[in-house]
Amino acid sequence: MSKRATFRAKLAQKPLTAIIGAHNPLGARLAEEAGFDGIWASGFELSAAMGVPDASIVTMTQHLDMTRFMDAAIGIPVVADIDTGFGNATNVIHATRQYEAAGVAALVIEDKTFPKDTSLLAGGRQELVRVAEFEGKIAAAVATRRDPDLLVIARTEALIAGLGQEEALMRARAYEKAGADAILIHSKRKTPDEIVAFVEAWDGTIPLVLVPTAYPDMTEERIRALGKVKLVIYGNHGVRAITQALTDTFRRIRADGGVLGVEGAIAPTERVFAVQGVAEMKAQEERYLR
């Protein structure tokens, strides 16, 4: 089966599928090596990697190119975080065509206004579009996809915006009727109570998706016990780990006036060669260079 069909089958058959954020092929390969089911082509991670806020500054072309590079580098599926769809329903149609051609297994579109602020930003602009407008975006993506295995996941930010459970449930039900294959429900609370309440109240027929960034004590065991959640996304842990590791390493080198002090704490060059696929390249050279 294609990666896309495999991913759809996993969501249907596994109790819980787990994917993690990445912003380049190196991170995607390391995630695959670690045993994750797929990659979250994270808008937040790519924005951070490019040194700009996650506020619809990264263009569709920039995000799409990196998503394509990651998908080509790994054997596990990629879920594309396309934020608000880069505009209105017309933009969503264009984005759906482009990301499907790039090979992604799923698109996640959120119901915020464009341009957006990242969800966990204190004091950020968390304004949502009208329900009917977002229904149109979801319907446009569903109608545009050529491969029925391409998942269209609707993400509601109603809890992020502080609009409460009833608003979140109303929006999720509307998005299911518009054709969404799953609902991503997001929260910035430090405990999972708000999310658990939503899951327990969810009466739709499509599965739910969680992103336990703000409430890290929500383990996969606890998520599976809820029964309605089929996908968990670890959204930004890769770029946060890289940020800390680079900060510590660079400061140590500067403080020591040399690299001896960090040599034992960082990956050897041979490890990087392995992730790059150098052994495969040398085998190809042996076979084909004449």
Amino acid at 8: R
- Both 62 and 142 in one domain: the answer is yes
Upstream peptide bond of 77 is cis (omega within 30 degrees of 0): no
pLDDT higher than 90, residue 126: no
User: Residue 239: is it exposed, middle or buried by C-beta count within 10 angstroms (0-12/13-18/19+)?
Assistant: buried
User: Which one of the listed residues 37, 54, 81, 83 is annotated catalytic?
Assistant: 54
pLDDT value at residue 152: 98
Q: What is the pLDDT of residues 181-191, one digit of tens each?
A: 999 999 999 99
Structural contact between residues 116 and 56, judged by C-beta atoms closer than 8 angstroms: yes
Are residues 183 and 269 part of one domain?
no
Tell me, yes or no, whether 163 and 288 share the same domain.
no
Residue 250 forms part of a structural domain: no
Task: Report the alpha-carbon distance of residue 32 to residue 38 in Å, rounded.
Answer: 7
For residue 121, pLDDT over 90 is answered with no
Q: Judge whether 152 lies within some domain.
A: yes
Q: How many angstroms separate the Cα of 219 from the Cα of each of 14, 216, 227, 280?
A: 16, 7, 14, 37
Binned at pLDDT 50, 70 and 90, residue 217 comes out as very high
User: In terms of DSSP bridges, do strands 38-41 and 17-22 run parallel, antiparallel, or are they unpaired?
Assistant: parallel
The answer to whether residues 163 and 287 belong to one domain is: no
pLDDT at 129 > cutoff 90: yes
At residue 97, the 3 state secondary structure works out as helix
3-state secondary structure 205-248: CCCEEECCCCCCCCCHHHHHHHCCEEEEEECCHHHHHHHHHHHH
226 in a structural domain? yes
Backbone angles phi, psi at 57, to 5 degrees: -90, -45
Query: Is residue 54 among the annotated active site residues?
Result: yes
Q: What confidence score (pLDDT) does residue 120 get?
A: 82
pLDDT tens track for 60-114: 999 999 999 999 999 999 999 999 999 999 999 999 999 999 999 999 999 999 9
The reply to whether 156 and 183 lie within a common domain is yes
Mean pLDDT of 192-205: 97
Do 7 and 77 contact (CB within 8 A), yes or no?
A: yes
| Structural domain includes residue 247 | no
Q: Are the C-beta atoms of 26 and 66 separated by less than 8 Å?
A: no
Domain, as residue range, for 225: 3-242
Residues 124 and 267 in one domain: no
Q: CA–CA distance from 263 to each of 35, 113, 146, 253, 269 (Å)?
A: 27, 46, 50, 10, 11
pLDDT of residue 49: 97
Residue 125: which pLDDT band, with cuts at 50, 70 and 90?
confident
The Cα 280–Cα 89 span in angstroms is 43
- Same domain? 283 vs 153: no
- Predicted pLDDT at 46: 97
- Residue 256 located in a structural domain: no
Is residue 38 domain-shared with residue 156, that is, in the same domain?
yes
Q: Has residue 74 been placed in a domain?
A: yes
Residues 6+ apart with CB under 8 A from 269: none
Written as one letter, the residue type at 239 is V
Please tell me which residue, 125 or 31, carries the higher pLDDT value: 31
Mean pLDDT across the chain: 97
Asked if pLDDT for residue 117 goes beyond 90, the answer is no
What is the average pLDDT across 49-65?
96
In a domain, 87, yes or no: yes
> Residue 160 in 3-state DSSP?
coil
- pTM score: 0.95
What's the pLDDT at 214?
Answer: 95
Closest CA to 160 of 197, 129, 121: 121
User: Based on the domain organization, do 285 and 161 belong to the same domain?
Assistant: no
Q: Are residues 171 and 288 in the same domain?
A: no
Percent of the chain with pLDDT over 70: 100
pLDDT (tens digit per residue) in 218-260 = 999 999 999 999 999 999 999 999 999 999 999 999 999 999 9
Domain at 12, CATH number:
3.20.20.60
Helix pair 131-144, 165-177: axis angle to 10 deg? 30
Cα angle 232-236-240, degrees, rounded to a multiple of 5: 140
pLDDT at 133 over 90: yes
Q: Examine the domain organization and report whether 133 and 272 are in the same domain.
A: no
User: pLDDT tens digits for 154-185?
Assistant: 999 999 999 999 999 999 999 999 999 999 99
pLDDT at 1 over 90: no
pLDDT of residue 51: 97
Provide the H-helix boundaries in 145-164.
none
Domain-located, residue 255: no
Q: How many CB atoms lie within 10 A of CB 125?
A: 13
Q: What pLDDT score does 123 carry?
A: 81
Give the distance, in angstroms, between the CA of residue 120 and the centroid of all CA atoms in the same chain. 15
Count of structural domains within the chain? 2
- What separation, in Å, do the N-terminal and C-terminal C-alpha atoms of the chain show? 36
Say whether both 272 and 233 belong to one domain. Answer: no
